[in-house]
Structure 1
Amino acid sequence: MLNPDVVLILVVHNGRVEYFNGKVVNMTSATTLHINPPFPKAEPLMLRGPLPLQPHDLSSGFSHIDGRYSSMTFSSIRECMCVRPEAIQTTIVVVLRFVNVTDDDFYYATYLKLMVNLAKKNALNRPDDSWFCPRCQMSMVQCNYNYHLPMKLQDVTGTLWATAFDEVGIDLIKKNAKELYMLQNGVNTTQTPRVVINTVVLHRYTFTLLVSTDTYNFEPKLKVAINKVYEVGYIAECNALLAKIARLSTQP
């Protein structure tokens, strides 16, 4: 069937898309492969004939952390990092699908903010209930609490895991981590940390993401941190979408 004069359309159902040296589609026991299927969405491709699809320039879809922020999708983020694995910063409008925390692991203990450069270092809890800062080699009776929130984000192209820390957590939840920590031993069983955090789930937000690559088990992985959170500007978002539609309608 591999004839250069014949259009061959392959449809993969229940495939698993991964990213390793580019985009890869793997098959599982639940995957089915259709060759030249009678699907409505496949007909325009068959009518094109043996013409090659136009390549997409990935380098124009993102900006570096030193440049202006650009709006991207999760799919374009992954593709850009495969082509050019450098740190990028981008803004994106997404739905917050899930926050992977329980009532006692949404925070990490830190040394009290006596100095700015000590504010975000992890503090160690000693058997006598005191706290020790390994950076400055000092002990304190009390400690501070900062957010550590693994979040599952979703846009039209898929999902992506990102981590939000203290400043973003406060802007998102409208409470600091110590306030939620105090709810753990409170008498109000309906107002637990998990319940409060769940109030921000399944809403749309504009996030500024810092994306970089890391290696885990000798494989490259995306490392995504949320730097800022904003309310969605629906007027600006609609204008941007209308501008994209207008550019598509003018293309040959």
Structure 2
Amino acid sequence: MSFDVVDVQGTEIRIIGSDDCALVLSDKIVQGTVYSFSGSGGIRHSNQAYTPFEATWEIQANKGMEFTALDEDAMFPRIVLAKTSILSACQKERDSFVDVVGIVIWIGTITVTSRDSGTFVKKRTLCLGDDSGHSVDLCLWDLKAEEEGSYIQERIDSGVQPIICVKGGKVSDYNGKSLSAIGVSTILIELEMEAVADLREWMTLYYNVTNFIHLSTSSSRQIVSCTTTLSEISNIVIATVKEMKTDEFYYNACINVVNARQCGKKTTQTADGWFCSYCNIVSANMEFKYALKMCIEDSSSHMWAIAFQEATQEIVGMSAKELATMRDENYPAFSLLIDGIRSKIYKFKIWSKLEKYQDMEKLRFYILGLDT
């Protein structure tokens, strides 16, 4: 048995116990608890092939080693991560250990597979994505497939898309690139730390319009790579605007500030003001925000896409409120502006996402802006 400890300075070391000592330690040690310990069987050079962090030494435990649980101390880090992006992790050599933080996009069921030795082991695969715009298969083995995997499945079933920290994931070149959470790996789910908060903020803004490039070849949910025409579903296309839905090109957005950012969710008008179901509050005012449906076309095909606030403002050149006022008060000028947009050729930045609605999957397209 082995377990990894970290002190208040963030220095990590591994403690290893064998035979009877391992049984004693397994009954004493609880992950996430702060301990003081004394006595050991000595130290020895660590085996970096089995250690998921940089360490020169490891501690050899014995049955006389004493562990005393202490009160929780916020000064002690729950986990120390040498965080890297999923893209960078998959560029490392096979059998490298990596630390990643990612969004669970989907998770599979538990399967049983055989080892080369003839023994059987449980396995569960999930797809992990991050703000690099890439995703990868993460394989959970043995108890991790049952325990962490089952909890992640429960969170997804309840409508929550969890963010997990993987410390000591092992890089594999099986099926392209993949990561494995093995015995020495640690998985923490929805941890309160800066890296998780940053990714959740990115998720709120960009997840629904991000077309993850999948780095594992075993999954059927890979993303079509960049091409040059609409018929081939590209990420950047040169096209013109064929049609615009100018009757409903904006929505009434919530102005409430959540975590230093405007909520921006759709509101409904009530007798008391503008109600946001997301914030569960009524505000006296709201803000016009773009949600413009556009049909764009090139020489090969055409498609409908949605452009939200920043993208539409870049194309139109004014705010949603200004455009709505122009339509209502000076329709000839409004019509002239729309005709001018249709007459130009644009280099659109396009993202597509496979969305599920009433048990049917449909590929939707979003305009992120113009490529200048």
TM range (shorter): 0.5 to 0.7
Please give the alpha-carbon distance, in whole angstroms, between the structure 2 residues aligned to 1:149 and 1:170: 10
RMSD: 2.7
The structure that has the greater radius of gyration is 2
Q: Is the CA contact (8 Å cut-off) linking 1:98 and 1:202 kept in structure 2?
A: no
5+ long unaligned stretches in structure 1: 1-62, 78-88, 232-252
CA separation of 1:66 and 1:215: change in aligned 2, threshold 3 A: closer
1:212 alignment partner in structure 2: 353
1:132 aligns to 2:275 (yes or no): yes
Q: TM-score, normalised by structure 2?
A: 0.37
Q: How does 1:2-81 map to 2 (within 5 A)?
A: 64-65=212-213, 70-77=226-233
1:95 alignment partner in structure 2: 240
CA separation of 1:190 and 1:143: change in aligned 2, threshold 3 A: same
5+ long unaligned stretches in structure 2: 1-210, 216-224
Please give the alpha-carbon distance, in whole angstroms, between the structure 1 residues aligned to 2:355 and 2:256: 30
State the aligned residue count.
152
CA-to-partner distance for each residue in 1:197-239, whole Å, 9 max, x for gaps?
34311321111111122345655432001112135xxxxxxxx
CA separation of 1:190 and 1:113: change in aligned 2, threshold 3 A: farther
SS of equivalent to 1:167? helix
SS of equivalent to 1:183? helix
SS of equivalent to 1:127? coil
Bigger relative contact order (CA 8 A; separation at least 6):
1
Please give the alpha-carbon distance, in whole angstroms, between the structure 2 residues aligned to 1:140 and 1:217: 32
Please give the alpha-carbon distance, in whole angstroms, between the structure 2 residues aligned to 1:224 and 1:149: 12
Q: TM-score, normalised by structure 1?
A: 0.53
Please give the alpha-carbon distance, in whole angstroms, between the structure 2 residues aligned to 1:162 and 1:181: 20
CA separation of 1:65 and 1:147: change in aligned 2, threshold 3 A: farther
The one of 187, 190, 215 equivalent to 2:332 is 190
Letter in 1 for 2:238: V
SS of equivalent to 1:172? helix
Letter in 1 for 2:226: S
1:122 aligns to 2:266 (yes or no): yes
SS of equivalent to 1:136? coil
